[in-house]
Structures are given as structure tokens and as C-alpha cells.
Amino acid sequence: MKTTSIKISEIKKDWYIVDADGQKLGRLASNIAQIIKGKNKPYYTPHMDMGDCVIVVNAEKVVATGKKEVEKQYWHHTGFPGGQKSRSLANMRENFPERIIENAVKGMLPHNRLGRKMLQHLKVYTGKSHPHTGQSPKKMEF
């Protein structure tokens, strides 16, 4: 038997819409990451970008369990000496609620050029509205 590999011209990308209202952050992010990677397709190939596009609405209503709202910290560095900064999950929810889901999914994708390209297929919005109605996304429940 021969192993067949799919060609780039044969890849079909679908659009899905996910409502994050009341969903747990980690479980939501892992399900989204699998769709973006293409692991839900029968012809999954790890070295190719064959995943689907995912639209997430109501990002501000995602649930974090336990004490994560206060204790979870998001770190970044400005590049200057002593420039390490941090924000709590509650602070991120006030100022940048989209980044909560984006960072969670980003950590579950490959950490290379392919992972950065896959992350472009994730669109996160606060509220119910989004500008991607022309793609006629399919509703997805987890």
C-alpha cells in the first residue's frame, strides 16, 4: 500500500462560528486548536496548513474556573532592562477580552512559522456581531 499525501489544491477550508458564552477557557481553546490544525479531517497532514477558519463571538463571557480570575498572570517584556510586565486575567478581561482566547489557542498550536500562519485563521470578537457573514459560517457546539 502507498501512503498518499494531499495536494494544496485539494484542501477545502470551511468556516465555523463558536459562541464562547459560558464555556470553559481551556476546553474551548483545545477544541478550537484542533479545528484550526485540521485534526478533525480524515486527511490530516502535520506539516501543512489544512485547518478551517474559526470565528469566536462573546469572548468576554468565557469562564475561568477556580481562582484563575485573580491568580492567573499574563507576562510580557518590553525589551528594556527591568521591563517585565504582567496583567491578571481580570485585568485582561476588562481591557483586551479577545486576547484571552487568542493566547490560550496560540499556546496549543505549533511554535513555528506554521503555527503563526494557523493562528491567522482564528477571529475573536466581543459581542454577538462579526464581519464574516459573507463566508456563511457553520455553527459549532462543544
Query: Could you give the domains of the chain?
Result: 13-67+97-139 (3.90.1180.10)
- Structure pTM? 0.93
Walk along the chain (142 residues) and give the pLDDT tens digit of each residue. Answer: 888 888 989 999 999 999 999 999 999 999 999 999 999 999 999 999 999 999 999 999 999 999 999 999 999 999 999 999 999 999 999 999 999 999 999 999 999 999 999 999 999 999 999 999 999 999 999 8
Task: List the beta bridge partners of residue 76.
Answer: 85
What is the reported pLDDT for 4?
83
DSSP per residue, the chain: -------GGG----EEEEE-TT-BHHHHHHHHHHHHHTTTSTT--TTS--PPEEEEE-GGG-B--TTHHHH-EEEEE-SSTT-EEEEEHHHHHHH-HHHHHHHHHHTTS-SSHHHHHHHTTEEE-SSS--S-GGG-PEE---
